[in-house]
Amino acid sequence: MGTSRRLRFRQRAVMVKQAATVLRIRLARWGCTNRPFYHIVVADARAPRNGRHFEQVGAFDPIPNQYGEKLVSLNHDRIKHWLLSGATPSRSAAELLGLAGLLPVHPHSYLVTQERRKLFAAKQSEAEQTSTEGDSNSS
């Protein structure tokens, strides 16, 4: 009687532990110093950044290549599966998934775009002012 009672307690503890797993879709950093490369993984929220994960669902290279592109590869089917299973993406993963069309675009992406447009407009106006000053000085 005592052994079966212990066994039931252990089974119940395992079931509670499995139910309490909080899944996150997040970036795991790989690569060398000053040359990061990220794997997009599904992991337990309590696991370390580069620790144990359930599945790798993509990769992200934040360093622009010779054409100025940051490369991302995603396994759409598996990401949809994990999202339907209850996994929540981290902010950086949500931004990437939003730009890929798997989630709504993250609000932070809009803010970054707006800031970059302001900087670009300021540089354009500066360039126009210096070109008009150069024209007026030459005549």
pLDDT digits (tens, 9 = 90+) for 5-14: 666 666 555 5
Q: Is 24 helix (H, G, I), strand (E, B) or coil?
A: strand
Q: Check if CATH label 3.30.1320.10 holds for domain 22-105.
A: yes
Distance from C-alpha of 79 to C-alpha of 56, rounded to nearest angstrom: 10
Neighbour tally for 39: CB within 10 Å: 17
Structure confidence at residue 137 as a pLDDT band (50, 70, 90):
low
Q: Taking residues 94-122, what's their average pLDDT?
A: 88
Neighbour tally for 29: CB within 10 Å: 10
Structure confidence at residue 126 as a pLDDT band (50, 70, 90):
confident
Each residue of 31-87: pLDDT tens digit?
Answer: 888 999 999 999 988 887 787 888 999 999 999 999 999 999 999 999 999 999 888
Kindly give the interhelix angle for 107-138 and 91-100, rounded to the nearest 10 degrees.
Answer: 70
Distance from C-alpha of 65 to C-alpha of 47, rounded to nearest angstrom: 31
Give the residue extent of every domain in the chain: 22-105, 106-139
